[in-house]
Homo-oligomer: A and B are copies of this chain.
């Protein structure tokens, strides 16, 4: 038995150039018309660069976009749950144009692209199919609605990892690197624990259930952009570090991160999370409560149910569903709604708002809710925020993914 195959069944397909090819293309890129890309698009480019979106070779065509929206299938039949598209308002870019894609924030050239198709889309249709809503309060919908008028399709050559390697060091692992690491550890059955929040005991429990029955867990943090007020990646990373050091057995976890922005597409994004974890070599994705959700846009277990609705062979990486988890006083231990017969009153449940206010005031969290070492890291972070910033911080205490 070996690791799961990259999506599509072939080899990993990183689009990042190296060595002389990179040098030459970077030089050529200077002279090309430049298109500033959004943060979401930049994350997608880097993901394409490191092979996380294998086997895509660039941004999607209209045929792909339509198939993905309506049936989670690209024009060539490949399973794909969320459009990976690039947009512009620039009328001068046409099919046939060669352009350079530039980070909208830093101005760095991230990639070159040969535009093969320019097309319009019904944004509301994409939102309804993918996000199940056109409500602009939904941050993913807001991103789609803010896109340019035209989508551009075509293969890209990636020229940078956008500073992630520099910023996050060893934690920014490519799919080839996680696969090599898993093989070195002798791991075959590996669960990815997707996280965009610090890990409290409820999240530790999810990861440990996976460890009890598999070879190991990839604690895989989103390093791209989040909602305003979410805990920054470096703080999360430090908190996870003290957690694994003190409460996990050696050689059962690997902490790494990936460059995407959250889309908050709930069920569809859970499928994307599984898809790219397949590229990273993970056999399973832990899917908890309200995975990749936001607000009340999705039912708490919609992201689990959608895995039953896709063809059996769509993905090699499978979902590992776990119910809402908590400490129950009557159970005298961590449990979930699947394993605890008691009532809400017996459980230690703290809202995100409550956790934030306790941490901001330097209060200790109950040891049944959070490990003291983890709480300390978060207290330190909140203590460093100005009072004004503190008000804006909105910590989601229930959902990790």
Contact = CB atoms under 8 A, between A and B. Distances in A.
Given A340-B249, A341-B249, A335 B208 contact: yes
Interface string A370-382: 0000000000000
Interface string A359-386: 0000000011000000000000000000
Contacts of A335: 208
A333 B334 contact: yes
A383 to B, nearest CB: 26
Contacts of A250: 341
A213 interface: yes
Contacts of A339: 208, 211-212, 248-249, 252
A332 B248 contact: no
Contacts of A340: 249
A208 B336 CA distance: 10
Contacts of A367: 332
A321 interface: yes
Nearest to A248: B341
A200 B321 CA distance: 26
A289 to B, nearest CB: 13
A322 interface: yes
Interface residues of A, number: 28
A62 B320 CA distance: 45
Identify the interface centre among A248, A320, A337, A339: most chain B CB within 10 Å of its CB.
Answer: A339
Contact of A341 (B246, B321, B331): B246
B211 A212 contact: no
Contacts of A323: 212
A254 to B, nearest CB: 15
B247 A341 contact: yes
Contacts of A333: 333-334
A32 interface: no
A338 interface: yes
Nearest to A368: B332
Contact of A209 (B212, B321, B337): B212
A331 B331 CA distance: 15
A219 to B, nearest CB: 14
Contacts of A247: 331, 341
A212 B191 CA distance: 15
Interface of A: 208-209, 211-213, 246-250, 252, 320-323, 331-341, 367-368
17 contacts: A211-B338, A211-B339, A212-B322, A212-B336, A212-B338, A212-B339, A213-B213, A213-B320, A213-B321, A246-B341, A247-B331, A247-B341, A248-B339, A249-B341, A250-B341, A252-B338, A333-B334
Given A249-B339, A252-B339, A332-B368, 19 more contacts: A208-B335, A208-B339, A209-B209, A212-B322, A212-B323, A212-B336, A212-B338, A213-B320, A213-B322, A247-B331, A247-B341, A248-B339, A248-B341, A249-B337, A249-B338, A249-B340, A249-B341, A252-B338, A333-B334
